[in-house]
Amino acid sequence: MSDSFGEVITAMVTPFDENLNLNLDKARELASYLVDNGSDGILVLGTTGEVPTLTKEEKILLLETVVDEVGDKTKILAGTGSYSTQESIEMTREAEKIGVDGILIVCPYYNKPPQEGLYRHFKMIAESTSLPIMIYNVPGRTSRNIEMKTICRLAEIENIIAVKEASGDISQITEICNSVNDDFYVYSGDDNMTLPALSVGGCGVVSVASHLVGNDIKEMIQNYKQGNVQKAISLNKKLSPFFKGIFLTTNPIPIKAALNLVGHNVGGLRPPLLELNHSEEEVLQGILQGVGLL
Protein backbone atom coordinates (compact mmCIF):
# COMPACT_ATOMS: atom_id res chain seq x y z
CA MET A 1 0.00 0.00 0.00
CA SER A 2 2.73 2.44 -1.00
CA ASP A 3 0.61 4.59 -3.34
CA SER A 4 -0.89 7.87 -2.16
CA PHE A 5 -4.44 8.96 -2.90
CA GLY A 6 -3.13 11.69 -5.23
CA GLU A 7 -2.32 15.35 -4.68
CA VAL A 8 -5.74 17.03 -4.80
CA ILE A 9 -8.67 15.27 -3.16
CA THR A 10 -11.96 17.16 -3.20
CA ALA A 11 -14.22 16.81 -0.19
CA MET A 12 -17.42 16.79 -2.24
CA VAL A 13 -20.60 18.56 -1.23
CA THR A 14 -23.79 16.52 -1.19
CA PRO A 15 -26.29 17.92 -3.71
CA PHE A 16 -29.91 18.20 -2.62
CA ASP A 17 -33.09 18.97 -4.55
CA GLU A 18 -35.62 21.67 -3.66
CA ASN A 19 -37.04 19.42 -0.92
CA LEU A 20 -33.57 18.70 0.51
CA ASN A 21 -33.65 15.11 -0.70
CA LEU A 22 -30.54 13.61 -2.29
CA ASN A 23 -30.07 14.79 -5.87
CA LEU A 24 -28.23 11.79 -7.27
CA ASP A 25 -28.25 13.06 -10.87
CA LYS A 26 -26.49 16.23 -9.71
CA ALA A 27 -24.06 14.13 -7.65
CA ARG A 28 -23.10 12.26 -10.83
CA GLU A 29 -22.66 15.52 -12.72
CA LEU A 30 -20.60 17.12 -9.99
CA ALA A 31 -18.34 14.08 -9.54
CA SER A 32 -17.60 14.02 -13.28
CA TYR A 33 -16.87 17.75 -13.26
CA LEU A 34 -14.43 17.37 -10.39
CA VAL A 35 -12.56 14.54 -12.12
CA ASP A 36 -12.17 16.73 -15.21
CA ASN A 37 -11.03 19.78 -13.24
CA GLY A 38 -8.01 18.96 -11.11
CA SER A 39 -9.22 16.37 -8.61
CA ASP A 40 -7.11 13.22 -8.28
CA GLY A 41 -9.64 11.83 -5.86
CA ILE A 42 -13.05 12.51 -4.38
CA LEU A 43 -13.96 12.23 -0.72
CA VAL A 44 -17.63 11.36 -0.26
CA LEU A 45 -19.35 11.61 3.15
CA GLY A 46 -17.04 14.17 4.68
CA THR A 47 -17.84 17.27 6.72
CA THR A 48 -18.32 19.21 3.49
CA GLY A 49 -20.83 16.57 2.41
CA GLU A 50 -23.05 17.29 5.44
CA VAL A 51 -22.60 13.69 6.55
CA PRO A 52 -24.11 14.21 10.04
CA THR A 53 -27.47 14.91 8.38
CA LEU A 54 -27.47 11.82 6.12
CA THR A 55 -29.14 8.54 7.00
CA LYS A 56 -27.23 5.29 6.57
CA GLU A 57 -29.38 4.48 3.54
CA GLU A 58 -28.57 7.85 1.98
CA LYS A 59 -24.86 7.37 2.61
CA ILE A 60 -24.91 4.04 0.83
CA LEU A 61 -26.93 5.44 -2.09
CA LEU A 62 -24.56 8.36 -2.51
CA LEU A 63 -21.47 6.15 -2.41
CA GLU A 64 -22.97 3.73 -4.91
CA THR A 65 -23.84 6.60 -7.25
CA VAL A 66 -20.40 8.22 -7.20
CA VAL A 67 -18.58 4.89 -7.55
CA ASP A 68 -20.81 3.98 -10.49
CA GLU A 69 -20.22 7.35 -12.17
CA VAL A 70 -16.47 7.89 -11.75
CA GLY A 71 -15.09 4.85 -9.95
CA ASP A 72 -13.14 3.83 -13.02
CA LYS A 73 -11.63 7.31 -13.46
CA THR A 74 -10.51 8.44 -10.01
CA LYS A 75 -9.88 7.33 -6.45
CA ILE A 76 -12.90 7.52 -4.19
CA LEU A 77 -12.61 7.78 -0.42
CA ALA A 78 -15.54 7.30 1.90
CA GLY A 79 -15.85 9.07 5.22
CA THR A 80 -17.00 6.23 7.44
CA GLY A 81 -15.86 7.30 10.91
CA SER A 82 -17.93 8.43 13.86
CA TYR A 83 -17.59 8.55 17.64
CA SER A 84 -18.64 4.90 17.79
CA THR A 85 -15.95 2.38 16.91
CA GLN A 86 -18.46 -0.34 16.07
CA GLU A 87 -20.58 1.90 13.86
CA SER A 88 -17.41 3.05 12.10
CA ILE A 89 -16.46 -0.57 11.42
CA GLU A 90 -19.91 -1.37 10.08
CA MET A 91 -19.96 1.62 7.73
CA THR A 92 -16.41 0.86 6.60
CA ARG A 93 -17.46 -2.65 5.64
CA GLU A 94 -20.45 -1.28 3.71
CA ALA A 95 -18.16 1.12 1.81
CA GLU A 96 -15.71 -1.66 1.00
CA LYS A 97 -18.53 -3.77 -0.45
CA ILE A 98 -19.56 -0.82 -2.65
CA GLY A 99 -16.06 -0.62 -4.09
CA VAL A 100 -14.42 2.56 -2.81
CA ASP A 101 -10.64 2.92 -2.95
CA GLY A 102 -10.01 4.10 0.57
CA ILE A 103 -11.48 5.21 3.87
CA LEU A 104 -11.29 8.48 5.79
CA ILE A 105 -11.73 8.04 9.53
CA VAL A 106 -12.35 11.17 11.58
CA CYS A 107 -11.06 11.47 15.13
CA PRO A 108 -13.91 10.42 17.44
CA TYR A 109 -15.79 13.55 18.43
CA TYR A 110 -17.77 14.53 21.53
CA ASN A 111 -16.68 11.62 23.76
CA LYS A 112 -13.04 12.84 23.88
CA PRO A 113 -11.14 9.56 24.25
CA PRO A 114 -7.57 9.66 25.55
CA GLN A 115 -4.70 9.02 23.12
CA GLU A 116 -4.63 5.28 23.83
CA GLY A 117 -8.38 5.14 23.12
CA LEU A 118 -7.79 6.93 19.83
CA TYR A 119 -5.05 4.47 18.91
CA ARG A 120 -7.26 1.47 19.63
CA HIS A 121 -10.21 3.01 17.74
CA PHE A 122 -8.23 3.44 14.52
CA LYS A 123 -6.45 0.09 14.94
CA MET A 124 -9.73 -1.81 15.31
CA ILE A 125 -11.17 -0.16 12.20
CA ALA A 126 -7.97 -0.88 10.24
CA GLU A 127 -8.17 -4.54 11.24
CA SER A 128 -11.75 -4.73 9.93
CA THR A 129 -10.90 -3.80 6.33
CA SER A 130 -8.36 -4.41 3.59
CA LEU A 131 -8.76 -0.84 2.33
CA PRO A 132 -6.12 1.87 2.85
CA ILE A 133 -7.07 4.39 5.52
CA MET A 134 -6.53 8.11 5.97
CA ILE A 135 -6.78 9.47 9.51
CA TYR A 136 -8.62 12.79 9.82
CA ASN A 137 -7.37 15.09 12.57
CA VAL A 138 -9.59 18.14 12.99
CA PRO A 139 -9.55 19.22 16.64
CA GLY A 140 -11.53 22.39 15.90
CA ARG A 141 -14.55 20.17 15.23
CA THR A 142 -13.87 17.12 17.37
CA SER A 143 -12.44 18.80 20.50
CA ARG A 144 -9.62 16.23 20.56
CA ASN A 145 -6.21 16.52 18.88
CA ILE A 146 -4.59 13.31 17.66
CA GLU A 147 -1.09 13.88 18.93
CA MET A 148 1.99 13.37 16.79
CA LYS A 149 3.12 10.32 18.75
CA THR A 150 -0.28 8.67 18.28
CA ILE A 151 -0.24 9.34 14.54
CA CYS A 152 3.27 7.87 14.31
CA ARG A 153 2.12 4.72 16.15
CA LEU A 154 -0.83 4.41 13.78
CA ALA A 155 1.44 4.91 10.76
CA GLU A 156 3.08 1.60 11.63
CA ILE A 157 -0.19 -0.23 10.86
CA GLU A 158 0.06 -1.52 7.29
CA ASN A 159 -3.17 -0.14 5.85
CA ILE A 160 -3.11 3.21 7.65
CA ILE A 161 -1.25 5.17 5.00
CA ALA A 162 -2.12 8.85 5.41
CA VAL A 163 -3.37 11.64 7.62
CA LYS A 164 -5.51 14.64 6.79
CA GLU A 165 -4.05 17.23 9.14
CA ALA A 166 -6.50 20.02 9.89
CA SER A 167 -5.07 21.05 13.24
CA GLY A 168 -3.82 24.32 11.74
CA ASP A 169 -0.58 23.69 13.61
CA ILE A 170 2.38 23.79 11.24
CA SER A 171 4.68 22.62 14.04
CA GLN A 172 2.65 19.46 14.47
CA ILE A 173 2.53 18.90 10.70
CA THR A 174 6.31 19.35 10.56
CA GLU A 175 6.88 16.88 13.40
CA ILE A 176 4.69 14.28 11.71
CA CYS A 177 6.47 14.69 8.36
CA ASN A 178 9.83 14.40 10.11
CA SER A 179 8.85 11.27 12.03
CA VAL A 180 7.00 9.00 9.58
CA ASN A 181 8.34 6.90 6.73
CA ASP A 182 8.14 8.06 3.11
CA ASP A 183 5.23 5.71 2.40
CA PHE A 184 3.01 7.54 4.89
CA TYR A 185 1.37 10.59 3.33
CA VAL A 186 0.56 13.85 5.08
CA TYR A 187 -2.25 15.93 3.56
CA SER A 188 -3.23 19.42 4.51
CA GLY A 189 -6.83 19.52 5.68
CA ASP A 190 -7.02 23.29 5.18
CA ASP A 191 -6.72 24.95 1.78
CA ASN A 192 -4.78 27.89 3.16
CA MET A 193 -2.22 25.52 4.74
CA THR A 194 -1.46 23.58 1.57
CA LEU A 195 1.70 25.44 0.58
CA PRO A 196 3.11 25.54 4.14
CA ALA A 197 2.40 21.80 4.47
CA LEU A 198 4.19 21.08 1.20
CA SER A 199 7.20 23.03 2.44
CA VAL A 200 7.68 20.65 5.38
CA GLY A 201 7.03 17.42 3.50
CA GLY A 202 3.29 17.20 2.89
CA CYS A 203 2.09 15.57 -0.31
CA GLY A 204 -1.16 17.39 -1.10
CA VAL A 205 -4.51 18.59 0.18
CA VAL A 206 -7.99 17.37 0.96
CA SER A 207 -9.66 20.46 -0.39
CA VAL A 208 -12.92 22.34 -0.34
CA ALA A 209 -11.74 25.09 -2.71
CA SER A 210 -10.97 22.53 -5.42
CA HIS A 211 -14.67 22.38 -6.25
CA LEU A 212 -14.02 25.56 -8.26
CA VAL A 213 -10.23 26.08 -8.47
CA GLY A 214 -8.99 22.51 -8.61
CA ASN A 215 -6.80 23.03 -11.65
CA ASP A 216 -5.12 26.03 -10.01
CA ILE A 217 -4.45 24.11 -6.80
CA LYS A 218 -3.04 21.21 -8.81
CA GLU A 219 -0.79 23.62 -10.71
CA MET A 220 0.42 25.18 -7.46
CA ILE A 221 1.32 21.81 -5.95
CA GLN A 222 3.08 20.58 -9.07
CA ASN A 223 5.05 23.80 -9.45
CA TYR A 224 6.24 23.56 -5.87
CA LYS A 225 7.29 19.93 -6.26
CA GLN A 226 9.10 20.73 -9.51
CA GLY A 227 11.12 23.46 -7.81
CA ASN A 228 9.20 26.40 -9.25
CA VAL A 229 8.69 27.84 -5.79
CA GLN A 230 8.04 31.45 -6.83
CA LYS A 231 5.35 30.31 -9.27
CA ALA A 232 3.74 28.26 -6.49
CA ILE A 233 3.85 31.27 -4.15
CA SER A 234 2.28 33.45 -6.84
CA LEU A 235 -0.56 30.98 -7.36
CA ASN A 236 -1.10 30.73 -3.61
CA LYS A 237 -1.38 34.52 -3.36
CA LYS A 238 -3.92 34.53 -6.18
CA LEU A 239 -6.00 31.82 -4.51
CA SER A 240 -5.74 33.06 -0.92
CA PRO A 241 -8.81 35.37 -1.06
CA PHE A 242 -10.90 32.46 -2.29
CA PHE A 243 -9.46 30.11 0.35
CA LYS A 244 -10.47 32.65 2.99
CA GLY A 245 -13.84 33.46 1.43
CA ILE A 246 -15.17 29.91 1.39
CA PHE A 247 -14.75 29.85 5.16
CA LEU A 248 -16.39 33.21 5.90
CA THR A 249 -18.88 31.16 7.88
CA THR A 250 -19.27 27.49 8.72
CA ASN A 251 -18.24 25.04 5.98
CA PRO A 252 -19.98 23.93 3.73
CA ILE A 253 -22.33 26.93 3.70
CA PRO A 254 -20.09 29.22 1.57
CA ILE A 255 -18.87 26.58 -0.90
CA LYS A 256 -22.43 25.45 -1.62
CA ALA A 257 -23.41 29.08 -2.16
CA ALA A 258 -20.41 29.59 -4.45
CA LEU A 259 -21.26 26.51 -6.50
CA ASN A 260 -24.84 27.71 -6.87
CA LEU A 261 -23.74 31.22 -7.84
CA VAL A 262 -21.56 29.93 -10.69
CA GLY A 263 -24.28 27.62 -11.99
CA HIS A 264 -23.69 24.17 -10.51
CA ASN A 265 -27.04 24.21 -8.67
CA VAL A 266 -26.17 21.81 -5.84
CA GLY A 267 -29.15 22.91 -3.76
CA GLY A 268 -29.49 24.08 -0.21
CA LEU A 269 -28.36 22.89 3.20
CA ARG A 270 -30.05 20.64 5.69
CA PRO A 271 -30.75 21.99 9.17
CA PRO A 272 -29.12 22.93 11.44
CA LEU A 273 -27.06 24.65 8.72
CA LEU A 274 -28.60 27.63 6.93
CA GLU A 275 -28.00 29.80 3.88
CA LEU A 276 -25.72 32.82 3.77
CA ASN A 277 -27.35 36.07 4.78
CA HIS A 278 -27.48 38.93 2.27
CA SER A 279 -24.32 40.67 3.40
CA GLU A 280 -22.34 37.41 3.45
CA GLU A 281 -23.53 36.58 -0.07
CA GLU A 282 -22.41 40.01 -1.30
CA VAL A 283 -18.96 39.41 0.18
CA LEU A 284 -18.77 35.99 -1.47
CA GLN A 285 -19.84 37.40 -4.84
CA GLY A 286 -17.06 39.97 -4.64
CA ILE A 287 -14.50 37.26 -3.89
CA LEU A 288 -15.72 35.12 -6.78
CA GLN A 289 -15.46 38.09 -9.11
CA GLY A 290 -11.98 38.85 -7.83
CA VAL A 291 -10.69 35.40 -8.82
CA GLY A 292 -12.54 35.39 -12.13
CA LEU A 293 -15.26 32.86 -11.24
CA LEU A 294 -18.13 35.33 -11.80
Q: Which of 164, 218, 199, 239 is CA-nearest to residue 7?
A: 218
Is 97 one of the annotated active-site residues of the chain?
no
Torsion-angle region of residue 239: left (phi > 0), alpha (psi -120 to 50) or beta? alpha
Catalytic residue among 59, 164, 218, 256: 164
Q: Confirm whether 149 is a catalytic residue.
A: no
Distance, CA of 105 to CA of 259 (rounded, Å) = 26
Q: How far is CA 101 from CA 61, 76, 104, 114, in A?
A: 17, 5, 10, 29
Evaluated on CA atoms 114, 111, 127, 190, the torsion sign reads negative
DSSP annotation of 209 reads T
Q: What separation, in Å, do the N-terminal and C-terminal C-alpha atoms of the chain show?
A: 41
Q: Is 113 exposed, middle or buried (0-12, 13-18, 19+ CB in 10 A)?
A: middle
d(CA 153, CA 4): 19
Burial zone of 68 (CB within 10 Å; 0-12 exposed, 13-18 middle, 19+ buried)? middle
Give the separation between CA 31 and CA 284, rounded to whole angstroms.
23
How is residue 44 annotated by DSSP?
Answer: E
* Strand partners for 77: 43, 102
Choice among 75, 119, 136, 256 that is catalytic? 136
What one-character DSSP code corresponds to residue 99? T
CA dihedral 73, 33, 13, 203 (to 10 degrees): 60
Question: Which of the residues are catalytic?
Answer: 136, 164
